[in-house]
């Protein structure tokens, strides 16, 4: 990228550029209103061509490419058969280009990456292939992987078969990403699959691609990067490479590395704020010096184009807070701590009712208003906190609280932590908190299990490290039973049986590294499943299929007839 260090030239030409953009927009609108005015379209094309030349002189590569695309789209408009669609796309491009030039002038720097999305939107409307996110990124792709990966223990002819299950693991994560269902947990699942495939393949020519692919996915996880269409497309390309290994076999492992995919992967890794581990290796090999992070890029994109938020989520949060204040007042009244001014309580109920109407909870609003009228007449000394009337009021508040909880649930995917089956006389918030606590405890048990298995491998199969694992997994199974996650529990039971009946037997053979990795796949898959629930962004039950396939590979198949 060539950065502008002096914006004098741009400032000098800015007025002319703005005037040219304005004229082009006027002529475009005239042609869109009357397609017989082809001279107006010709003048619009000429304006875009003029702008392209100006941006080349100013060394603004992103603006140059955008002007070029605008010129090509304008030339094709009359023969497109959909003039209005092309005109809208060009109008949006004109607005974006104007904002970008203002950004360059104010910030005194050109970030061509800011225009990738806009350029691709224009190309998408013109039904052209999209440019890569790394289009303006320069790197020496001739450098080899360092340090080199260790030789693989797995026979080459076994790699396609083992990659089939790992591809399923990767696809479960990819599907979650494409559907925007808990991208973090989904990416972790994909990162594990790529890591396993990388180790299976060993030091082959294509290993450099797995290496940078892993770095890109880990970078997305580390910085919680926004998964743009370009990044989702990159993740999909990795899946196609895994498919080639499965169906074309060893020949693919010796094939040339797809350089565009490597470049895009390196670019994503370069955007990570961290420089340790695998990401650090890639940055060092390709001399990726600190320049721009994904977070900065996202902030600058928002600065240039603006952003939004969720009104309903804010309303639900405010309702929950107001209702909590009312409940606290009633709790103090029931304990005799202080005299309660029920007129204030009634006023609060009135405000809550008004807000409920705003979010179309009309029935609940009518109920709370009716209750507010009754409560306003109460006198602190005359109300028995243990009496029927007071308890009925508490029940009404509980039903309103559950209605608000239901409002929050309309803004997040339903998961098994927030199960719909409930007793209407139990607070959904409290029940959800209990379930989330159990999920957290279950994940702690899985973390302990993974550490024990890792220590078992590192100590050359010392059974001492597995001694407490069966009881830990039994506790996890109990938590999963409480959560009604019967399918996940069946996997945990199979893991426990494998450890007890195979690994801990005195006369058992030493397991292979591949078997231990497969066991870890099953445990990690359940952990990702629970993590997605903990974050209220369910990854879906496909990840359970990965866990079940892993246990089947180990000879402990899980009965899939069990309903989750």
- Both tokens of 342, joined, read 């029920």
Same domain as 301, residue 168: yes
How many domains are there within the chain? 4
Host domain of residue 394: 311-409
User: CA-CA distance, 116 to 241, in Å (whole number)?
Assistant: 25
CA neighbor of 400 nearest in space, from 418, 383, 424, 378: 424
- Decide: 289 and 268 in contact? Cβ < 8 Å: no
Question: What's the pLDDT score for residue 428?
Answer: 57
* Predicted TM-score (pTM) of this structure: 0.72
- Using 50, 70 and 90 to split pLDDT, how confident is the model at 60? very high
- The mean pLDDT value of the chain amounts to 86
**Residue 559 is assigned to a structural domain of this protein:** no
Same domain, 441 and 541: yes
* CB-based contact 452:468 (threshold 8 Å): yes
Q: Are residues 358 and 494 in the same domain?
A: no
Min mean pLDDT across 93-102, 241-250, 274-283, 362-371 is at 362-371
Indicate the pLDDT class of residue 429, thresholds 50, 70 and 90.
low
CA distance 193 to 114: 32
| Domain-located, residue 356 | yes
**Residue 432 domain-assigned?**
yes
Return d(Cα 170, Cα 172) in angstroms, integer: 5
Residues 520 and 542 occupy one common structural domain: yes
Range in 8-17, 196-205, 367-376, 383-392 the model is least confident about: 383-392
Tell me: do 282 and 372 sit in the same domain.
Answer: no
- What are the tokens at 121? 């939107």
pLDDT at 8 over 90: no
Residue that is last in its domain, among 305, 333, 349: 305
H-helix segments, 108-182: 116-125, 159-178
Residue 486 binned pLDDT confidence (cut-offs 50, 70, 90): very high
Three-class SS string for 65-78? HHHHHHHHHHHHHC
> In angstroms, rounded to a whole number, what is the distance separating the alpha carbons of residues 240 and 170?
11
What pLDDT sits at residue 3? 42
Kindly state whether residues 75 and 211 are assigned to the same domain: no
Structure tokens at 16: 């002319």
Whether residue 359 sits in one domain with residue 235: no
- Indicate if 299 and 370 belong to the same structural domain: no
User: 208 and 286, same structural domain?
Assistant: yes
Q: Which CATH number is 105's domain given? A: 1.20.120.160
What pLDDT digit, counting tens, does each position of 518-560 carry?
A: 999 999 999 999 988 887 677 778 899 999 999 999 999 997 5
Asked if 171 and 179 count as a contact pair (C-beta separation under 8 A), the reply is no
In a domain, 250, yes or no: yes
Same domain, 299 and 333: no
299 and 316 fall within a common domain? no
List the CATH number of the domain containing 521: 1.20.120
Confidence of residue 311 (pLDDT cuts 50, 70, 90): low
How far apart are alpha carbons 159 and 76 in whole angstroms?
Answer: 49
Residues 161 and 274 placed together within one structural domain of the fold:
yes
Sign for the CA dihedral angle at 37, 39, 45, 48 comes to negative
Average pLDDT rounded to a whole number, residues 301-311: 55
> How would DSSP label each residue in 307-355?
----HHHHHHHHHHHHHHHHHHHHHHHHHTSS---HHHHHHHHHHHHHH
């Amino acid at each position: 990228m060539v950065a502008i260090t002096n914006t004098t030239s741009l400032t000098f030409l800015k007025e002319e550029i703005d005037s040219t953009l304005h004229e082009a927009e006027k002529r475009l609108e005239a042609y869109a209103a009357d397609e017989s005015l082809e001279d107006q379209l010709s003048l619009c094309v000429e304006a875009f061509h003029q702008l392209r030349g100006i941006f080349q002189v100013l060394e603004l590569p992103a603006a140059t490419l955008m002007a070029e695309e605008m010129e090509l789209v304008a030339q094709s408009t009359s023969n497109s058969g959909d003039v209005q669609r092309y005109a809208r796309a060009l109008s949006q491009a004109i607005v974006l280009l104007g904002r970008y030039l203002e950004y360059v002038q104010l910030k005194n720097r050109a970030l061509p990456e800011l225009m990738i999305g806009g350029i691709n939107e224009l190309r998408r409307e013109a039904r052209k292939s999209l440019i890569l996110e790394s289009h303006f990124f320069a790197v020496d792709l001739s450098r080899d992987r360092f340090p080199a990966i260790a030789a693989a223990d797995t026979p080459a002819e076994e790699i396609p078969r083992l990659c089939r299950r790992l591809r399923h693991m990767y696809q479960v994560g990819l599907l979650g990403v494409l559907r925007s269902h808990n991208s973090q947990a989904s990416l972790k699942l994909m990162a594990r699959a790529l890591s396993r495939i990388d180790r299976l393949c060993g030091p082959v020519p294509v290993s450099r691609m797995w290496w940078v692919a892993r770095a890109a996915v880990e970078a997305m996880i580390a910085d919680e990067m926004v998964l743009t269409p370009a990044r989702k497309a990159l993740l999909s390309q990795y899946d196609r490479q895994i498919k080639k290994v499965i169906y074309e076999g060893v020949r693919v492992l010796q094939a040339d590395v797809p350089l565009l995919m490597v470049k895009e992967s390196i670019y994503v890794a370069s955007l990570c704020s961290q420089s340790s581990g695998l990401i650090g290796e890639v940055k060092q090999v390709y001399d990726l010096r600190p320049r721009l992070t994904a977070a900065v890029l996202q902030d600058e994109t928002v600065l240039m184009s603006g952003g939004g938020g969720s009104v309903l989520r804010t309303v639900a949060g405010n309702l929950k807070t107001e209702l909590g204040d009312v409940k606290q007042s009633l709790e103090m009244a029931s304990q005799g701590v202080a005299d309660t001014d029920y007129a204030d309580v009634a006023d609060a109920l009135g405000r809550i009712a008004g807000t409920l109407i705003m979010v179309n909870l009309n029935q609940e609003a009518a109920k709370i208003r009716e209750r507010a009228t009754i409560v306003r007449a109460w006198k602190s000394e005359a109300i028995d906190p243990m009496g029927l009337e007071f308890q009925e009021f508490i029940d009404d508040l509980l039903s309103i609280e559950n209605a608000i909880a239901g409002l929050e649930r309309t803004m997040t995917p339903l998961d098994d932590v927030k199960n719909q089956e409930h007793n209407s006389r139990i607070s959904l918030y409290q029940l959800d908190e209990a379930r989330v606590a159990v999920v957290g405890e279950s994940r702690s048990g899985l973390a302990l299990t993974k550490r024990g298995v890792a220590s078992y491998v590192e100590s050359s199969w010392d059974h001492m490290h597995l001694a407490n694992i069966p009881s830990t997994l039994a506790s996890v199974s109990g938590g999963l039973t409480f959560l009604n996650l019967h399918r996940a529990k069946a996997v945990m039971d199979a893991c426990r049986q494998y450890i007890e009946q195979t690994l801990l037997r005195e006369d058992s053979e030493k397991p292979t590294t591949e078997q231990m990795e497969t066991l870890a796949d099953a445990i990690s898959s359940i952990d990702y499943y629970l993590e997605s629930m903990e974050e209220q962004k369910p990854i879906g039950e496909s990840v359970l299929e990965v866990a079940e396939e892993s246990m089947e590979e180990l000879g402990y198949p899980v009965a899939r007839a069990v309903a989750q």
